[in-house]
Amino acid sequence: MPTEANPAKLDHRADNASVGDRTKQLARELRDANFRFNQKLVELAYLYEAGVQLSSSLEREEVISGILPLAVATLDARGGFLLSRDEATGRLNLEQEINLGGRQQLASKDQSLRRRRALRDGGTVHLDRRQLPAGFGAEHLSAAAMGDAGIIFVFDKETFDGVVAFGDLDGRILELMAQQAGTALANASLHRHIVDGREAGAAAVSGYINNMGGEQIAEAVDELLDEGVNRFVFDLEQCRIVNSIGISILIEVIEKVLETEGRVLFCLVSPTITKTFRIMGLLQRSDICDTRAQALASG
């Protein structure tokens, strides 16, 4: 005669199965949360490394070579590319790419990728396949401007479940890396103009005169003072901003030059920077000329 199942035992088994399933689910959730946490730590480490690496060199080629690999690795992107602006023509050219394949021509020529207002405003752009050029072959693309120096693009964020769109945090990280890259490239450009300007008698200063930019000016002036040069002309036509640290370094530079009975002149200075120089007292010890020719001709 068959025995009847004990309802209490059945309920107990069901409860055990339910607890077991819940335990497995919690374990998966904990594992996933731990993975995401570690992933963010890696992203922050890459972001820190990007700042250190990009600010450690004043050679444009070294800066450019490090930007895209860091962005692609940090954001777990399948690939990316970098458009840099030619200082002479103002055009954006394909400078570097990772896993772009046969899309290089499309990436370098398509105007829709670079005309987004958010890029002009210094933000980040996220595009999906419907918004990308026909034949581009990616599901998702994000881009951020490096100031006036160019644009970084990354495409298709990789996960265990395939490629997904880049999130808001990814966009913020890309934007910060692009800002770091833009500053590094501006400083590299400033350094090159100072070095190139030695023979011409005037240094064209572009970008941002901050701590690093000011130090490069100071180092170049020190070298030239040691060589017996004590008359300096700084062309600021392409200089957009000077911060307080940059101002203090320029004051020290002017004082060093005056100690050698030399002279410092600035030319093609914007009204905003001229006003700043006047308020901070630079014009009590240096002069501003309207053109480079006037500055070079001044005694």
Number of compact structural domains in the chain: 2
Together in a domain, 141 and 260: no
Together in a domain, 93 and 134: yes
What length is written for the chain?
Answer: 299
pLDDT in tens, 23-77: 778 777 777 776 666 656 655 665 666 666 666 676 788 888 888 998 898 888 9
Q: What is the pLDDT of residue 255?
A: 93
Assigned domain for 278 exists: yes
Assigned domain for 19 exists: no
Q: What is the pLDDT of residue 40?
A: 62
Question: Dihedrals φ, ψ of 260, to 5°?
Answer: -95, 10
Together in a domain, 150 and 240: no
Together in a domain, 158 and 214: no
Together in a domain, 267 and 234: yes
Q: In b/e form, how buried is each residue of 265-281, taking b as 16+ CB within 10 angstroms?
A: bbbbbeeebeebbeeee
Assigned domain for 142 exists: yes
Q: Output the furthest CA–CA distance in the chain (Å, rounded).
A: 122
Together in a domain, 210 and 281: yes
Together in a domain, 41 and 126: yes
Q: What is the pLDDT of residue 114?
A: 56
pLDDT in tens, 243-272: 888 888 999 999 999 999 999 999 999 998
Q: Exposed, middle or buried: residue 217 (CB in 10 Å: 0-12, 13-18, 19+)? A: buried
Q: Name the residue range of residue 255's domain.
A: 201-297
Together in a domain, 131 and 243: no
Assess contact for 207 and 190: CB atoms under 8 A. yes
Assigned domain for 267 exists: yes
Alpha carbons 66 and 113: distance in angstroms, whole number: 22
Q: What is the CATH number of the domain that holds 70?
A: 3.30.450.40
> To 10 degrees, the CA torsion angle through 61, 63, 69, 71?
-140
Together in a domain, 33 and 180: yes
* Low pLDDT (below 50) residues in the chain: 1, 10, 199-200
Q: What is the pLDDT of residue 10?
A: 47
Together in a domain, 208 and 146: no
> To 10 degrees, the CA torsion angle through 221, 223, 227, 228?
30
Give me the sign of the Cα torsion angle 212, 217, 218, 222.
positive
Please report the DSSP string for 168-227 in residue order. Answer: HHHHHHHHHHHHHHHHHHHHHHHHHHHHHHHHHT-EEEEEEESHHHHHHHHHHHHHHHHT
Boundary-marking domain end, from 185, 210, 236: 185
* Pairing, β 203-209 against β 231-242: parallel
Terminal Cα distance for the chain, rounded: 122
Q: What is the CATH number of the domain that holds 252?
A: 3.30.750.24
Tokens read off for 146:
């490096």
pTM of the model: 0.58
Q: What is the pLDDT of residue 47?
A: 61
Together in a domain, 38 and 67: yes
